[in-house]
Structure 1
Amino acid sequence: MPEFAELRARISSPVFTPSDPGFPDETTGFNLAVTHQPDAVVVAENESDIAQTVRFARENGMPVRVQATGHGATEPYTDGVLVITRKLDRVSIDAQERTATFGAGVRWAAVLAAAAEHHLAPITGSSPQVGAVGFLLGGGLGPLARSHGFGSDYLRELRLVTGLGEIVVANYTEHPDLFWALRGGKGGLGIVTQATIELIEADTLYAGSLVFDEPHIEQALRAWVDWSASAPDEVTSSVALMRMPDLDLVPPPLRGRHVLSVRVVSSGPVDAGPELADPLRQAAPVYLDLLGELPTSRLGLVHNDPTDPVPVWDHGMLLTPIDQDFASALLGEVGPGTEIPVVITEVRHIGAGTKIDVDEGSAVGGRNSDYSLAFIGMEPELFETVLPAFADRVSAAVAPWVSPELTINFIGRTTSPDRVAKAWPSDILNRLTEVRHRYDPEGVFPYGY
């Protein structure tokens, strides 16, 4: 193992090793189930220090990995250097060009707030606490997916450090092969330090959720399945079967309940929203009506994902068009009266805009699917055996509707190279591998393809 005193002498950013006070705090991300134990952690304060760190690691034959918020952490890092980018947290808006430029440590909440001041909005993820760059590198499916496509479709430029320790700009004209790969290719391509995205004009949306209590879950779910099949392209929706624990961290109206949350986001006229959602409201008695006009800066309220770090296990897949037989199969596994080990079972309606690639092409996988299915568990003692077995059982029950493709941000916890590879069509995967070797010929950035 090299002496990290040399690295400390080469950069101004803090360097932590396992014996240093503060090391555990710096390695801890959003997912508390994953504890990293690398040889060293660099809390990057600037781009040049990241470049120097990569050069140092390359010279010493060490792998380099990166973390902003830790939402995407699935397996612990046990060697090499972990670069933390959370301090790269500046956001700037160019209202005339309708773009946002932000550092690698920025969360969507900051971009939403800054853009809203100019009556603009990003194509964001469901959680404002997720790191914007990590979301975009994996394509990014959010609450505007059907109306506007993948988040990475709105990338305009990226700055990054390659595996050679070089700082480069990737856009339509500079390193276009790398730009193509970064729009959906996820990891192993470099450490992004800054991103520029296009924004859309939006102040408010008709958005939110309708919550149905356990006796009415089946009626509401079946109504949503039919409703979503004919929903206009401007509408993105999802359902979440939630078995909420009886804990203080859960809002009192949901504490200890088994409910169905139907989420709706329409980019169409706000005054047309009530009529649009009327079939859902009429399907069954509504326990909580949280659907109405919503400022884009508060878009995170639609999914209402946790804001504080928690232990998380998740598993996802994509689906072909679903029907009432699918609803029956899913309800038989996770519906009222069943005992399930997960907190959330979620089905999202995608398609429409997500099926249309950008003109110049991108590395996004999963464009041919119509829905997604995901399971989320939060009890660590169940992560290794109980939850994987549960996911396998439900997957088998809905097998007729499971798509042969995946998308990398929804893949969940896995160490299987075969499963990771399925996140892209074979032609995209082959091209990704070529681009990765071009910019990281020695494999400084480990990744699963």
Structure 2
Amino acid sequence: MTFTADDLHTFTASLDGPVFVRGDDALPAEVAGFNTTVVHDPDLVVGAASEADVVAAVRFAARHGLPVHVLATGHGGFTPVVDGLLVTTSRLDTLRIDPETRRAVVGAGLRWRPVVAAAAEHGLAPVTGSSDSVGVVGYTTGGGLGPFARTLGFSSDWVRAFRVVTAGGELVTASETSHPELFWALRGGKGGLGVVTSIEFELVPLTSFYGGSLFFDAEHIPAVLRAWAAFTETAPTEATSSVAVVRFPLFDEIPTPLRGKTALSLRFAYLGDPASGAAVFQPLREAAPAFFGAVDVMPAAAVAMVHNDPDQPGPVWDRGMMLDSVDDGFVDVFLEAFGPGRELPIIAAELRHVGGATARDVPGGSAVGGRDAAYTLVMVGAPDPGLFDTVLPRVADGITGLLRPWISASTNINFAGDLSVPGAYEAAWPAEIFGRLAEVRRSYDPTGMFPYPPRAAV
């Protein structure tokens, strides 16, 4: 470390939140994230309790030559932080909603769940993701694709301002009129741009939608998958859907009808007249008999029930990409790789239909990657850390090779998975956006105080 005990004492006394140094008993709990296989052990941790704490932390790091890392919920983290200063933002949990302007201001430590609930009290909803346990800021700075993506676009399209502490230790507001280049970069550029302390975004008037999920037995996976692929060719933009082939483990928290089964989960969300939504969904409902689940009118506050993503920490391994098309040839290869009867350490393979509103950039542009793609694909590995280093990457590499004809040239950073995979980081944006992002990072962080992509330990 490049600071003395006196430096640390003076610094700690100036903060509202706590400070931890390597070796402190409380440090592991402070830096624990969603992915339990990633264990952070930085030199110093600042549990920021105010924007002033973040400013002070960045200035302290600058004086002492420390890299600065940021941790909110730890979703999407695959690289341990083992040096420098780590700012945890979980205490930045402010939430303000103005129902007149339909704006929400959300602190960097909040997850989607309280935001969804608070907005619902006013007949409003944020353009959120599939999981309400994910942190708002980390998700949104990567773009954000949720259950209403085809109708409402990327979540970052609805951001109106960020509060950011830059590498110079300055607290700025990035918006269309203030620091517009930083604003452009933060809407999709993810990391290496500063520490976001809060985010302001526009809410949509929404009290209910037509949607939910159905589960189909293994024998019906081919028929339902083919019906869904055909459906997406002409689906209206009011409808966003996805499918996932899931090998459910024998865990107590899994609903009894699903426990130990291989099944296809079909998710659907329609914004508009419920009768029209039911008519649009009918061909999928008739593809095969479902054994579990429901699709009907749902309260907007229950949006997370569409996907029912896991919300408890655990070992996480995944790899994602975006696809240009899902045709008959793709379905054949997908079923060969993930279909019933296959023995492989991939417990879920999910396809999402995007396009529609996600293909249209916002006025002034944004740094979101993947607007040209029509689908996403994510492979989720078995939660066995012993498989993470060699077995799962080898299996995923083989499947990726088979699917190469359908994979888009660029993906989205939130779906890229482990950025240590060669080329994964560069492919997270189109080349022109990637280059412009690099310029913005150099402009706002000329010394590389905020390492991005995260560095692996050497």
Shorter-chain TM band: over 0.9
Shift in Å at residue 184 of structure 1? 0.5
Aligned to 2:419: 414
Please give the alpha-carbon distance, in whole angstroms, between the structure 2 residues aligned to 1:93 and 1:430: 36
Aligned to 1:61: 65
Question: Is the CA contact 1:208–1:291 (under 8 Å) kept in the aligned structure 2?
Answer: yes
* Structure 2: 5+ residue stretches without partners: none
Deviations 1:288-327 (A, max 9, x none): 1321111111100111011111110010000012112111
Aligned to 1:8: 12
Aligned to 1:174: 178
**Is 1:225 aligned to residue 226 of structure 2?**
no
In structure 2, the CA distance between the partners of 1:190 and 1:417, relative to structure 1 (3 Å rule), is: farther
Question: Is the CA contact 1:147–1:234 (under 8 Å) kept in the aligned structure 2?
Answer: yes
Report the AA paired with residue 141 of structure 1.
L
Aligned to 2:312: 308
Please give the alpha-carbon distance, in whole angstroms, between the structure 2 residues aligned to 1:70 and 1:448: 15
Aligned to 1:348: 352
Shift in Å at residue 7 of structure 1? 2.5
Shift in Å at residue 416 of structure 1? 4.4
Which is further off, 388-397 or 185-194?
Answer: 388-397
Deviations 1:269-301 (A, max 9, x none): 122222211111111111113211111111001
Please give the alpha-carbon distance, in whole angstroms, between the structure 1 residues aligned to 2:37 and 2:298: 33
**Is 1:357 aligned to residue 361 of structure 2?**
yes
**Is 1:386 aligned to residue 387 of structure 2?**
no
Report the AA paired with residue 37 of structure 2.
A
Question: Is the CA contact 1:51–1:167 (under 8 Å) kept in the aligned structure 2?
Answer: yes
Report the AA paired with residue 117 of structure 2.
A
Please give the alpha-carbon distance, in whole angstroms, between the structure 1 residues aligned to 2:400 and 2:203: 37
Please give the alpha-carbon distance, in whole angstroms, between the structure 2 residues aligned to 1:416 and 1:446: 17
Please give the alpha-carbon distance, in whole angstroms, between the structure 2 residues aligned to 1:275 and 1:352: 20
In structure 2, the CA distance between the partners of 1:20 and 1:248, relative to structure 1 (3 Å rule), is: same
Which of these residues, 265, 268, 292, is aligned with residue 269 of structure 2? 265
Shift in Å at residue 176 of structure 1? 0.7
Report the AA paired with residue 176 of structure 1.
P
Which of these residues, 101, 115, 122, is aligned with residue 126 of structure 2? 122
Aligned to 2:434: 429
Please give the alpha-carbon distance, in whole angstroms, between the structure 1 residues aligned to 2:406 and 2:422: 23
Deviations 1:140-171 (A, max 9, x none): 11111110111100000110100111100111
**Is 1:235 aligned to residue 239 of structure 2?**
yes
Matching of residues 20-419 of structure 1 within 5 Å: 20-377=24-381, 378-416=383-421, 418-419=423-424
Which is further off, 17-26 or 239-248?
Answer: 17-26
Shift in Å at residue 342 of structure 1? 1.6
* Structure 1: 5+ residue stretches without partners: none
Question: Is the CA contact 1:45–1:88 (under 8 Å) kept in the aligned structure 2?
Answer: yes
Report the AA paired with residue 419 of structure 1.
A
Shift in Å at residue 417 of structure 1? 6.4
Please give the alpha-carbon distance, in whole angstroms, between the structure 2 residues aligned to 1:222 and 1:180: 39
Question: Is the CA contact 1:421–1:448 (under 8 Å) kept in the aligned structure 2?
Answer: no
Report the AA paired with residue 99 of structure 1.
R
Question: Is the CA contact 1:417–1:448 (under 8 Å) kept in the aligned structure 2?
Answer: no
Please give the alpha-carbon distance, in whole angstroms, between the structure 1 residues aligned to 2:297 and 2:131: 19
Please give the alpha-carbon distance, in whole angstroms, between the structure 2 residues aligned to 1:271 and 1:44: 48
Give secondary structure in 2 for the equivalent of 1:363: coil
Deviations 1:107-144 (A, max 9, x none): 11111111111111111011000001111100111111
Please give the alpha-carbon distance, in whole angstroms, between the structure 1 residues aligned to 2:10 and 2:343: 55
Which is further off, 231-240 or 288-297?
Answer: 288-297
Please give the alpha-carbon distance, in whole angstroms, between the structure 2 residues aligned to 1:269 and 1:338: 40
Question: What is the RMSD computed on CA atoms of the aligned residues?
Answer: 1.2
Deviations 1:49-103 (A, max 9, x none): 1111001111111111111101121110110111110111121111111111110
Please give the alpha-carbon distance, in whole angstroms, between the structure 1 residues aligned to 2:344 and 2:209: 34
Shift in Å at residue 351 of structure 1? 0.6
Please give the alpha-carbon distance, in whole angstroms, between the structure 2 residues aligned to 1:236 and 1:430: 31
Please give the alpha-carbon distance, in whole angstroms, between the structure 2 residues aligned to 1:347 and 1:25: 34
Please give the alpha-carbon distance, in whole angstroms, between the structure 1 residues aligned to 2:423 and 2:350: 24
Please give the alpha-carbon distance, in whole angstroms, between the structure 2 residues aligned to 1:340 and 1:417: 23
Please give the alpha-carbon distance, in whole angstroms, between the structure 2 residues aligned to 1:77 and 1:408: 19
Please give the alpha-carbon distance, in whole angstroms, between the structure 1 residues aligned to 2:167 and 2:281: 49
Please give the alpha-carbon distance, in whole angstroms, between the structure 2 residues aligned to 1:298 and 1:31: 25
Report the AA paired with residue 204 of structure 1.
S
Please give the alpha-carbon distance, in whole angstroms, between the structure 1 residues aligned to 2:125 and 2:418: 30
Please give the alpha-carbon distance, in whole angstroms, between the structure 2 residues aligned to 1:7 and 1:213: 59
Which is further off, 33-42 or 1-10?
Answer: 1-10
Shift in Å at residue 41 of structure 1? 1.1
Report the AA paired with residue 63 of structure 2.
E
The TM-score normalised by the length of structure 1 is 0.98
Question: Is the CA contact 2:419–2:453 (under 8 Å) kept in the aligned structure 1?
Answer: no
Shift in Å at residue 12 of structure 1? 2.6
Please give the alpha-carbon distance, in whole angstroms, between the structure 1 residues aligned to 2:213 and 2:328: 22
> How many equivalent residue pairs?
449
Report the AA paired with residue 420 of structure 1.
Y
